[in-house]
Structure 1
């Protein structure tokens, strides 16, 4: 079932507001006694949403603390009241649509309808082999993703689902009472290729990108903008083919992976310039990483908080 026009959140409130929004990613690296404070601070600062990565471990953080995404989000739901919550992103690497749907419905209920599912095809990092399997090729990941998303869509919108697929099946999978958000919680689909764009156009309420990974090390900001403009154009083509207005799809940029890296967090002015350039491309939400000292996401905490409270007002 396609829910491309969905825009409702818990309590009848819109899941997405128009205009530029600022959100954050909080990595699940702290025990909850400490982590709770960060999620509550994100709400106090006025961030639109706070996401976390859905990995079993990740990059340079592999040998340190790393907690599960959905339990962390459930705890965050009980510690906050207004902040939207979500994954950025979940993938099929170690998930199955049937069990994921049950957990998402539970999380949406606990949060009162504040959940967004960021979802992507996954990569070849630690998650790809943690269950003992060989890492999938890019084509295999795309094939699985193309089956995963439509089945998850059905599981979150129908009371009972039976479906036999090549990779994923369901046999009378029951999901009563369903999501608080109707017809289901929103999907933010990560995509840079044609098959992913088609899934975003068909099933997404938002599209997520980190830019062109080939430009991260040696590219320029100007090249990154051109690459993102090209992605926007391909998204528009996919929406046109799906009979949908691209304007109805939110566009999310997860920062930290473009040639600018962390420089937009150097000052309010630097961030406003960066965000404004991407707002002109059509992005409606910018996501920044909560500062982590001695990491790729190191940033000055007072400056970061000043950006959170002042920057969006200059962009709206």
Structure 2
């Protein structure tokens, strides 16, 4: 049996990636529909070796659609996801709109696939923040082995995490540097070309940014509410690929060598860890890849039962589009869509 899938936000970075990944993985879809705002109606997008034209979200009837991959931003999702879910279509939402909703499962299939069954309350499943997604893939097998008590993470997040506008701004500002022309700043609070910006999203009352807060609450929801986590999130002049420097403390002893073997056997992870120049992964090399890459594994002698590592992943794929498609695959593999259809 094939399924009918709609991709909302099909003209954006993540929406296009979703279409590409559906085709790459041979998702069992009889029909894939590209949806966007009315101003994008007729815009052509690629789906494998086919080209499909965008239709208007506002005019689309989801009654005969099985899965909606939603990547059109939080406000659009808040307005449309409950309506779509009420029609019996399962929404897999890439925005932050429903991540903290207790009636909406927040899912990374390698981490908490069993929680997916909770989608029936609202017919909505949330995709985590891109920086959280790759982190919990790495933390899950380590937590199972030695029980994590505390995590300190610093992120180095690419401009694609801010959408096409972020990528355009880095490109345009970089050209301005070399052409000695006037530099414009629209998307980011400070210049991003040849610079770092220690702010992603808005500041909260405690001095942390909302991006940092997201990493805390999402990790607790998916992995373990008892884990203590603190994050510093930084935007860097990289087009694609998020990187993270991670320090982990455990309740029980776990060496870096033991962690390396645990991670090597874990789903969704590849180890590239040679103690030599270039013996590690960078965001440039992660672009277009599905895995979460782990490098620079070492013991942290400043705490009892601590390790440190470097974590890199393509934020448009595992951090967004790939994870959403994997959630859809999980629904099918567990027979949850068939059960929903029979109940209807």
Q: TM-score by structure 1 length? A: 0.32
More strand by share: 2
Q: Which has the higher helix share?
A: 1
